[in-house]
Amino acid sequence: MQIEAVDLFYLSMPEVTDEVDGSQDALLVRVRAGGLEGWGECEAAPLPSIAAFVCPMSHGACRPVSASVLGETIDTPADISRIAARVEYDSMDLLQAPHTFSGVEMALWDLLGKKHSVPVWRLLGQSRSHPKIPYASLLFGDTPEETLMRARKARADGFNAAKFGWGPIGRSAASDDDEQFVAAREGLGSDAHLMVDVGQVFGDDVAAAAARLRGLEAARALWLEEPFHAGALEAHAQLAARCQRVRIAGGEAAHNVYMARHLIDYGAVGYIQIDCGRIGGIAPATKVAEMAVAAGVTYVNHTFTSHLALSASMQPFAGLEDHRICEYPAAPKDLAVAITSNHITRRGNGTIIAPEAPGLGVAIDVERIRPYLVETEITVGKQVLYRTPVL
């Protein structure tokens, strides 16, 4: 098959706020080849990602992503690897390229799975899809009381695990944060998994992060996620050495396999969290999952948006029976819910599995997302480089 078209669709909620919630807008990718179509989703600001696909060549190592994709042959997983290598080399100075290609690469796997009538995880060489424990991915409330209510709701909604993130954590005294951790634990109950994400708030300040360890240990948190800037590897390792039961988690900011490997090898993370919409797609995420197994580190997906992104994020570790914790968008915006007509729902025992259907196993709901479509045009000089395609 020859890649005939790659269409990018910018979707947005009517109002985008400063809430740290990536489900407020989206960039969907549709790839067409051989009478089939596949879909993917970029986890990045839509407009810069569109620009990276269509921008004029700056020089030989700064070409638009489109130059490495359109017209290429796509019949086997090896073709996806070949295209990815070309993007990496020809767009090495285009820093948005990994984010843009991530959505394209997902769509290529979706299309290829449909061509061969198998789920993507089988194309990756996995024999079965093992159950995962979904955790509700939530934000801390402004007060411990609000966090308590959110935790209780998550438990009432049937979640046996939840992660609370961002909010006021790290912005006042450690004792204030301790109250938040206690509230989250109380709301979830003693038998649920509790994880904490602080969104790089401590920069590289090991002492400030370590001041929260006692409270995290008391609340029996499973991990502390992204305490530092993604590249602050020494800080990660130093904090990991001070931990008793809680482990350090990170990896969502990894834009390539090497960044993830460094977090494992030098940052001493106990959980490596990869976003297929940022690292370059499903294949590089699968490489990281293999590295994690070899290093004795637990692989976890990073997903906060739609069930298209959720399905893609589950493919790399679907076949890993012992890597069971799975991020699950528990309170996405209406836009993210509308993207697919079917969803990855929890089974009777509360677990989820990657779809068995061909490709990514989810269907795009064109009519439901149409109201969120942002008509966009990019013009340089008098040449139109991009205009919203027909959905």
High-pLDDT (> 70) share of the chain, %: 100
Contacts of 372 (CB under 8 A, 6+ apart): 11, 12, 13, 26, 335, 338
Task: Give pLDDT tens digits for 68-121.
Answer: 999 999 999 999 999 999 999 999 999 999 999 999 999 999 999 999 999 999
Q: Is residue 351 part of a domain?
A: no
Q: Indicate if 111 and 140 belong to the same structural domain.
A: no
Task: Please state the rounded mean pLDDT for residues 280-285.
Answer: 98
Query: 247-278: per-residue pLDDT in tens?
Result: 999 999 999 999 999 999 999 999 999 999 99
Residue 175 domain-assigned? yes
Count of H helices and E strands in the chain? 14, 13
Let me know: does 163 contact 135? Beta carbons within 8 Å: yes
Could you report the per-residue pLDDT of 145-159, keeping only the tens digit for each?
A: 999 999 999 999 999
Residue 63, CA distances (Å) to 90, 91, 301, 345 in order? 6, 5, 30, 40
Query: pLDDT exceeding 90 applies to what percent of the chain?
Result: 94
With cut-offs at 50, 70 and 90, classify the pLDDT of residue 348.
Answer: confident
Q: Residue 36: CB partners within 8 Å, gap ≥ 6? A: 1, 111, 114, 115
Task: List, in order, residues 6 or more apart from 25 with CB less than 8 Å away.
Answer: 10, 11, 12, 13, 16, 45, 46, 335
Residue 374's CATH number: 3.30.390.10
- At a CB cut-off of 8 Å and minimum separation 6, what does 24 contact? 12, 13, 16, 17, 333, 335
Q: Are residues 194 and 239 in the same domain?
A: yes
Does residue 343 fall inside a structural domain?
Answer: no
Q: Domain check: are 130 and 98 in the same one?
A: no
Residue 360 placed within a domain: no
Residue 269 lies in a domain: yes
CA–CA gap between residue 221 and residue 1 (Å, rounded): 49
For 82-136, the DSSP string reads: HHHHHHHHHTTT-TTHHHHHHHHHHHHHHHHHHHHTSBHHHHTT-S----BEEEE
- Give me the domain span that covers residue 258: 123-338
Closest by Cα among 274, 220, 280 to 249? 274
- DSSP 8-class letter at 281: S
H helix runs in 23-96, sequence order: 46-54, 77-90
Mean pLDDT of the chain: 96
CATH number assigned to the domain comprising residue 217: 3.20.20.120
Predicted confidence (pLDDT) per residue in 183-217, tens digit: 999 999 999 999 999 999 999 999 999 999 999 99
| Total number of domains constituting the chain | 2
pLDDT at position 20 over 90: no
**The two three-digit tokens of residue 299, written as one number:** 């692989």
356 inside domain: no
351-387 pLDDT, tens digit each:
999 999 999 999 999 999 999 999 999 999 999 999 9
Question: Is 296 inside a domain boundary?
Answer: yes
Torsional sign, CA 5, 124, 261, 241: positive
DSSP notation for 329-353:
-SS--HHHHHTBSS-----TTS-B-
Mean pLDDT of 334-348: 94
